C-alpha cells in the first residue's frame, strides 16, 4: 500500500505493517516480506526480441523465440511484471476476488519496472475491458486499476473506456487456443466514441494476467483495426511455465 510519508507513522500505529500474503510483520507499509518477495519470478534477459519471453543464456539481443517465429505476433512487445507462479497467483486472486484493492499499487510497481523506456506522455493506457455484467458483479475492473496506477508512474494518458466487451463470454480456463479465439470472436471492440483518440496512437494495453494471449490478441486486433500505430502489452503475471526456471 502506498502511504504518504507524513501519514506513515499514524497509519503504522493504527494498522501495523503486515505482509499482505503471509501476514508477517514488516518495517513499513511498502509491499511483501522478504520470503514472499523471493517467491516472485521476475523475468529478465536474455529474452525474445519480439515478446520478451525469457531465453536460455547465450541468446543474442535480436533472438526471436520459436513461438514468435512460427506465428509472428500482432503486438509490439510484452512487459510482464512477473511470471505466473503460486506467489503471483495469490496476489492476483487477492486483488481480483479478495477485493484487496490496496494491492494495485504494488502490482503496478512491478509492471512499471519492466516497461520500455519509451512509454511516456505521448502514449495511451487502455485496460482490457470487462463485460458490463461482470463489472457490475465484481464492482471494479482490476486491469483498469492497474492502468490507473501505471498512468501516475509513466505520465501516459489513461483511456479507461478505449475498448468495450460487446458480448458476455464464459471463462476461458480449460479451453485450447483455437477454442479461446472462437469464444472471443467479436467480443471485444473499440469504443466508437474513442476511435479518434486511438487513430495513430501508441497504446499500452494493460491486463492482470496474460495466459494464452487470446484476449490480448483480440484487443490488439481491435486497436490496430482502429488505426493504433503501436500496441505494447503490459501485465502483472504472464503464464510461461516452461520459462519459470529462467527467471
pLDDT, one tens digit per residue, over 110-161 is: 999 999 999 999 999 999 999 998 889 899 999 999 999 999 999 999 999 9
Same domain? 127 vs 13? no
Residue 16: other Cβ atoms inside 10 A: 10
Q: Domain check: are 132 and 30 in the same one? A: no
> In this model, does residue 228 exceed pLDDT 80?
yes
Number of folded domains in the chain? Answer: 2
Co-location of 126 and 241 in the same domain: yes
**What is the predicted pLDDT for the residue at 9?**
47
The more confidently predicted of residues 240 and 7 is 240
Say whether both 78 and 129 belong to one domain: yes
pLDDT one-digit tens code per residue, 158-196? 999 999 999 887 676 666 667 777 778 788 999 999 999
Could you tell me which residue, 115 or 13, shows the higher pLDDT?
115
- Give the count of beta carbons closer than 10 Å to the beta carbon of residue 185: 11
- Whole-angstrom Cα distance, residue 139 to residue 135? 5
Burial (CB count <10 Å: 0-12, 13-18, 19+), residue 26: middle
Verify that 21 and 135 share a domain, yes or no: no
Cell of 120: 511516456
State the average pLDDT over residues 17-30. Answer: 81
- Euclidean distance between the first and the last CA atom of the chain, given in angstroms as a whole number: 25
Please give the model's pTM, rounded to 2 decimal places.
0.90
Question: Residue 62's domain spans which residues?
Answer: 41-246
pLDDT value at residue 183:
75
Give per-residue burial for 80-108: e unless 16+ CB within 10 Å, then b.
bbbbbbebbebbbebbbeeeeeebbbbbb
User: What's the pLDDT score for residue 176?
Assistant: 64
What is the average pLDDT score of the chain?
Answer: 90
Mean pLDDT of 64-69: 96
Q: Say yes or no: 31 and 127 in one domain.
A: no
CATH number of domain containing 109: 3.40.50.2020
Let me know whether 4 and 30 are in one domain.
Answer: yes
The predicted model gives 29-47 an average pLDDT of 91
4 and 97 within one domain: no
Residue 4 clears pLDDT 60, i.e. is over it: no
pLDDT for the residue 181 = 72
Q: Which of 51-65, 163-177, 198-212 has the lowest mean pLDDT?
A: 163-177
Q: Which has more pLDDT, 29 or 240?
A: 240
Helix axes 142-154, 86-96, angle to 10 degrees: 100
Question: Within this chain, do residues 188 and 109 fall inside the same structural domain, yes or no?
Answer: yes
Residue 61 burial class via C-beta count within 10 angstroms: exposed 0-12, middle 13-18, buried 19 and up: exposed
Which band of pLDDT confidence, cut at 50, 70 and 90, is reported for residue 61?
A: confident
Amino acid at each position: 500500500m502506498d502511504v504518504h510519508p507524513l501519514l506513515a507513522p499514524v497509519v503504522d500505529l493504527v494498522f501495523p505493517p503486515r505482509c499482505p500474503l503471509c501476514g508477517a510483520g514488516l518495517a513499513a507499509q511498502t509491499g511483501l516480506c522478504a520470503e514472499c518477495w523471493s517467491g516472485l519470478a521476475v523475468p529478465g534477459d536474455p529474452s525474445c526480441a519480439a515478446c520478451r519471453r525469457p531465453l536460455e543464456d547465450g541468446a543474442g539481443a535480436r533472438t526471436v523465440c520459436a513461438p514468435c517465429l512460427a506465428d509472428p505476433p500482432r503486438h509490439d512487445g510484452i512487459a510482464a511484471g512477473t511470471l505466473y507462479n503460486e506467489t503471483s497467483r495469490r496476489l492476483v486472486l487477492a486483488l481480483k476476488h479478495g477485493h484487496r484493492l490496496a494491492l494495485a499499487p504494488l502490482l503496478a510497481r512491478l509492471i512499471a519496472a519492466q516497461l520500455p523506456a519509451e512509454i511516456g506522455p505521448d502514449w495511451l493506457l487502455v485496460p482490457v475491458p470487462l463485460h458490463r455484467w461482470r463489472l457490475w458483479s465484481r464492482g471494479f475492473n482490476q486491469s483498469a486499476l492497474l492502468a490507473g496506477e501505471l498512468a501516475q508512474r509513466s505520465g501516459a494518458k489513461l483511456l479507461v473506456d478505449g475498448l468495450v466487451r460487446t458480448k458476455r463470454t464464459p471463462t476461458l480456463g480449460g479451453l485450447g487456443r483455437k477454442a479461446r479465439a472462437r469464444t472471443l470472436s467479436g467480443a471485444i471492440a473499440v469504443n466508437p466514441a474513442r476511435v479518434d483518440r486511438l487513430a495513430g496512437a501508441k497504446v499500452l494495453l494493460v491486463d492482470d494476467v496474460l495466459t494464452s494471449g487470446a484476449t490480448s490478441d483480440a484487443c490488439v486486433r481491435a486497436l490496430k483495426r482502429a488505426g493504433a500505430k503501436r500496441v505494447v502489452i503490459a501485465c502483472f503475471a504472464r503464464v510461461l511455465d516452461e520459462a519459470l526456471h529462467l527467471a
